[in-house]
A and B are shown apart, each in its own frame.
Chain A
Amino acid sequence: QKEVEQNSGPLSVPEGAIASLNCTYSDRVSQSFFWYRQYSGKSPELIMSIYSNGDKEDGRFTAQLNKASQYVSLLIRDSQPSDSATYLCAVNSQVTGGSYIPTFGRGTSLIVHP
């Protein structure tokens, strides 16, 4: 059973601070990693994808991947109250038959307070 682990939080940070969200995964051969954001009562939406070791930056968001440690993180710089949401880590793992199935973590609830 492939697993994706996240601290459920809540993670509370002041406005303007850096929020750091972490995720570990069990499938050593996974190649594709994603962060989705889910506002309360809404559907998840993709905010970042990363496929290679290292950092990937997009605006205020930076995804970090370390395949040796089986660890993915998301940094949000200059956090805003509008960033308050649940952040879901997803890992695409290959299954029998060759297709890929995204496995999700439980999500980390982020609260950015003014």
Chain B
Amino acid sequence: EAGVTQFPSHSVIEKGQTVTLRCDPISGHDNLYWYRRVMGKEIKFLLHFVKESKQDESGMPNNRFLAERTGGTYSTLKVQPAELEDSGVYFCASSQETLWGREKLFFGSGTQLSVL
């Protein structure tokens, strides 16, 4: 069974440019999450999809970030325009729907974003 895949694995861009990250969840997983880890800090929640619907996007830093999940399959996270503070590792995770919040996350390998 294929795991969660993310690409690119690394992206180096200049401030003001646009970057799009992609995540392919495990087949059959309705839940898809985006997280970001800035060096030395905790993994912070960005947003949560259930199928194609944004269930919770309370963690999105500002309107420079746009996430989509067309057709409830893969998801993209676009940063436009990128700022220095957007640098970090962006993780995607997916899970099956469960009862009582017992979702166990399966993580992708992450995208290391460096904004210069």
Residues of A in contact with B (beta carbons under 8 Å apart) = 4, 31-32, 34, 36, 42-46, 49, 51, 88, 90, 92-97, 99-107
Contacts and interface: CB of A to CB of B under 8 A. Distances in A.
Among B42, B50, B107, chain A packs the most CB atoms within 10 A around the CB of B42
Contacts of A106: 41-42
B107 A44 contact: yes
Interface of B: 33, 35, 41-45, 48, 50, 55-56, 58, 91, 100-110
A102 B103 contact: yes
Contact of B101 (A31, A42, A97): A31
Given A43-B91, A88-B43, A95-B56, A104 B100 contact: no
22 contacts: A4-B42, A31-B100, A31-B102, A32-B103, A36-B105, A36-B107, A43-B110, A44-B43, A44-B107, A46-B104, A46-B105, A51-B100, A88-B43, A92-B101, A92-B103, A99-B48, A101-B45, A102-B45, A102-B103, A104-B44, A107-B42, A107-B43
Contacts of B44: 104
Contact of B105 (A51, A95, A99, A102): A102
A13 B45 CA distance: 31
B107 A43 contact: yes
B107 A101 contact: no
